Amino acid sequence: MLSQTAKILDGKALAQKIQRNLKEEIQTLQPKIGRPPGLAVLMVGDNPGSVVYVRNKEKSCAKVGIASFGRHFPTQTGADELEEVIAELNQDSRVDGILIQLPLPEHLDAIALLHQIKPEKDADGLHPMNMGRLVRGEAGLRSCTPAGVMALLSEYNLQVKGKQAVVVGRSILVGKPMALMLLEENATVTIAHSRSQNLAAITRGADILVAAVGKPDLITAEMVKPGAVVIDVGMNRVVDAQGNGRLVGDVDYAGVAQVAEYITPVPGGIGPMTVAMLLQNTVHSYRQSINHL
Residue 290 domain-assigned? no
Do residue 107 and residue 192 come from a single domain?
Answer: no
Residue 136 domain-assigned? no
Residue 90 domain-assigned? yes
Do residue 159 and residue 250 come from a single domain?
Answer: yes
> Does the pLDDT at position 202 exceed 50?
yes
Do residue 188 and residue 152 come from a single domain?
Answer: yes
Do residue 156 and residue 221 come from a single domain?
Answer: yes
Do residue 246 and residue 193 come from a single domain?
Answer: yes
Residue 291 domain-assigned? no
| Binding-site residue positions for NADP(+) | 169-171
Residue 118 near residue 146, CB atoms below 8 Å: no
Do residue 177 and residue 74 come from a single domain?
Answer: no
Going by pLDDT thresholds of 50, 70 and 90, the confidence category of residue 219 is very high
CA atoms within 13 A on the CB side of 11: 26
Rounded (10°) angle between helices 175-184 and 144-155: 40
Least confident of 47-51, 228-232, 234-238: 47-51
The distance of Cα 141 from the centroid of its chain, to the nearest Å, equals: 12
Looking up residue 75, the CATH number of its domain turns out to be: 3.40.50.10860
- Measured distance CA(204)–CA(173) in Å, rounded: 24
Do residue 166 and residue 261 come from a single domain?
Answer: yes
Do residue 91 and residue 188 come from a single domain?
Answer: no
Residue 256 near residue 9, CB atoms below 8 Å: no
- Measured distance CA(240)–CA(13) in Å, rounded: 29
Number of Cβ within 10 Å of residue 91's Cβ equals 9
Residue 252 near residue 217, CB atoms below 8 Å: yes
Mean pLDDT on 124-137: 95
Residue 127 domain-assigned? no
> What is the predicted pLDDT for the residue at 293?
62
Collapse the DSSP code of 78 into the 3-class scheme (helix H, G, I; strand E, B; otherwise coil) and give the result. coil
CA-based nearest residue to 7, from 151, 148, 158: 158
Going by pLDDT thresholds of 50, 70 and 90, the confidence category of residue 1 is very low
Do residue 69 and residue 160 come from a single domain?
Answer: no
Residue 193 domain-assigned? yes
Residue 42 domain-assigned? yes
**Residue range(s) defining the domain that contains residue 224:** 143-270
pLDDT tens across 41-98, in order? 999 998 877 888 899 899 999 999 999 999 999 999 999 999 999 999 999 999 999 9
217-219-224-227 Cα dihedral, nearest 10 degrees? -50
Do residue 56 and residue 163 come from a single domain?
Answer: no
Residue 21 domain-assigned? no
> Does the pLDDT at position 291 exceed 80?
no
Catalytic (active-site) positions: 57, 101, 124
Do residue 216 and residue 266 come from a single domain?
Answer: yes
The count of structural domains within the chain is 2
pLDDT tens across 102-116, in order? 889 999 999 999 999
Alpha helices in 65-172 (DSSP H): 79-91, 110-116, 128-136, 144-155
> What is the predicted pLDDT for the residue at 4?
67
Do residue 215 and residue 265 come from a single domain?
Answer: yes
- Measured distance CA(199)–CA(180) in Å, rounded: 20
pTM for the full model?
A: 0.94
